[in-house]
Amino acid sequence: MHKLFSLAVIIFAGIFLSLFPSIDYPNDKIIFSLFEDEGEEEEEDPEPAKTPVSVPHYSVIYDGTSKDFPIDPSDLWTAAGELSGINAGVYEVTLTLKDEDNYCWEDEEFNGQVKWRINKAQERSFTLVDFVKWVYDPSGSYPDISLTEPLLENDAVSFEYSVNKSLYPATNVRPSGVGNYYVRAMVANPNYEASYTPIIFFYIEKARQTVTEPVVETIEENKIILRTVVGAEYSRINGVWQDEPIFNDLDADTDYVFLIRLKETANYFESQIAFAVIRTQGHIWGEWIVDREATLESEGEEHRVCINYEEEVAYWTVENGFDEETIAKNIGIEVRTIPKIVPEPPPPQDLSVLLVTVPILTFAVGVCVAIVVQLINEKKQNEE
């Protein structure tokens, strides 16, 4: 069927050409096109291919100077955005091709945004100023740890502590209790890799503590209670240390030396000893009672009794472990002797009487002496 149709077309073309011989037709092409297969089209010339351009990648190392994003040496694109930088970090620029008709980016997914980087410089060398110990401080006010090297303005120093030399587990919390520790410092800077010092050892030593002299809370005849001090222990000279500040079985009206000291703890050494001399309360005496009156020939006797006598008699007993001497000393009864009665001398005479009597007596004595002398002389004459 197709061949018959083609033949009919040729015949028609011949007739047409014979009728219009003056027209110049490209017969060969017409005839050729008539015999072309259906569905075949004339091929068009392909578009020329674009030249691919590689996406630039750029990074440098921080050295404290300004760095610039490089300019395209082939002059195929332009850049805009963060084209310069000093500090380590990431910077963004936008790239635009100058001739997009003849050039394209090698990476088809590239959208023109590119990042370039100033990388951190290598870590630096630091060393801790060596120290041996701290002394325990309950407030945690310990000396600062310092470095031997100077720091830059934007350096940040932190410390890692541990009870293990491997610093595991480590903590940034400064230790506070007594013990052995290890520490190192880390110096961070946005332009340098983190720098670590060598690990050093140190310890927190127990602190010294002081205590003031004991203070009396209560005084009785046979008992003294001292004021309570937290963490303290108490004693008497040559006595045993005890936790309670209560001392019983004391003699009345007697001086005692009491001692106090603060006990050693996890964070404190034992304190030095402080002391105080405290006297027990004396008896509270009643009035003297005469048991036997004194006379010119004999002494008398009297006694007095403490108002707490009944309680003392009940306490100071052999059954309670006291000897007779201690019982006698502390029982509130006192006996004393009343001296013999001494006769009173005659009252002195009046001075005016003496003024008259003395001359008379003197004259009488003189007369008697004269008489005795005359009698002696007369006796001698008679003997002759």
Q: Answer yes or no: do 142 and 180 share one domain.
A: yes
Sheet strands (E) in 39-178: 51-53, 59-61, 67-68, 77-81, 84-85, 89-97, 103-105, 113-119, 133-135, 156-162
Burial of 257 (0-12, 13-18, 19+ CB in 10 A): middle
Q: In this structure, is residue 126 part of a structural domain?
A: no
Q: Which DSSP letter does residue 107 get? A: S
Predicted local distance difference test score (pLDDT) of residue 297: 87
Closest CA to 197 of 185, 209, 207, 188: 185
Handedness of CA 62, 64, 65, 67 (dihedral sign): positive
Which positions of the chain have pLDDT values less than 50?
2, 25-36
What type of residue is 130?
Answer: D
Predicted local distance difference test score (pLDDT) of residue 162: 95
Q: Answer yes or no: do 307 and 349 share one domain.
A: yes
CA atoms of 242 and 13, how far apart (whole Å) = 142
Q: Answer yes or no: do 296 and 266 share one domain.
A: no
Query: Structurally, how many domains does the chain consist of?
Result: 5
Predicted local distance difference test score (pLDDT) of residue 168: 85
Tokens linked to 20: 């219009």
What phi and psi, each to the nearest 5 degrees, are found at residue 123? -60, 155
Tokens linked to 340: 């013999």
Q: Answer yes or no: do 199 and 220 share one domain.
A: no
Q: Answer yes or no: do 318 and 266 share one domain.
A: no
pLDDT tens across 126-138, in order?
A: 999 988 999 999 9
Predicted local distance difference test score (pLDDT) of residue 118: 97
Q: In this structure, is residue 42 part of a structural domain?
A: no
Q: How far is CA 104 from the centre of its chain?
A: 67
User: What's the maximum distance between 2 C-alpha atoms anywhere in the chain?
Assistant: 249
CA atoms of 15 and 231, how far apart (whole Å) = 137
CB 51 within 8 A of CB 104: yes
Q: Answer yes or no: do 140 and 201 share one domain.
A: yes
Q: In this structure, is residue 200 part of a structural domain?
A: yes
Domain closes at, from 279, 300, 315? 279
Tokens linked to 225: 């209670």
Domain closes at, from 178, 205, 232? 205
Strand order in the sheet with 274-279: 232-236, 255-262, 274-279
Domain closes at, from 179, 205, 231? 205
Q: Answer yes or no: do 274 and 302 share one domain.
A: no
Q: In this structure, is residue 378 part of a structural domain?
A: no
Q: Answer yes or no: do 195 and 244 share one domain.
A: no
Q: Determine the structural domain holding residue 228 and report its residue range.
A: 216-279
Q: In this structure, is residue 108 part of a structural domain?
A: yes
Q: In this structure, is residue 376 part of a structural domain?
A: no
Q: In this structure, is residue 128 part of a structural domain?
A: no
How does 73-111 read in b/e, with b if 16+ C-beta sit within 10 Å? eeeebebeeeeebeebeebebebebeeeeebbbeeeeee
pLDDT tens across 366-383, in order?
A: 777 777 777 777 777 766
Q: Answer yes or no: do 30 and 56 share one domain.
A: no
Q: Answer yes or no: do 57 and 98 share one domain.
A: yes
pTM strictly above 0.75:
no
- The length of the chain in residues reads 384
Q: In this structure, is residue 369 part of a structural domain?
A: no
